[in-house]
Amino acid sequence: MSQQESDEYVQSKLVYSELKSARDTSKEEGQEQGIEIGKEQGIEIGIPKGEIIKARKIGKEIKSRGFLIEVIAELTNLSKEEIEKL
């Protein structure tokens, strides 16, 4: 291998190494961002779902104690139809 070919080879290895490092870094950063976005979306979905589950549980308990459906609906923000199904 000539000196020029050797220099070109070394240069190409350096370029490859830099590109691989940049790709790996961007991949890691993207994954971290994806995880954070996923957590935020999970919270945005989970909290309202949890509130609905809690309202249904309370509504069911209040209904079992003989409260009027209209009162339960007002207290829990559940629909009358949903309360009737409890």
- pLDDT tens-digit profile, the chain (86 residues): 788 877 777 788 777 778 778 777 777 777 777 788 888 888 888 888 888 999 999 999 999 999 999 999 998 999 999 999 98
> Domain range holding 13?
3-85
Count of domains in the chain?
Answer: 1
Report the candidate in 32, 73, 74, 4 with the shortest Cα–Cα distance to residue 82.
Answer: 73
Residue 58: CB atoms within 10 Å:
15
Largest CA distance in the chain: 94
Q: What is the pLDDT of residue 61?
A: 92
Q: What is the pLDDT of residue 6?
A: 79
Angle (deg, nearest 10), helices 3-64 and 69-76: 150
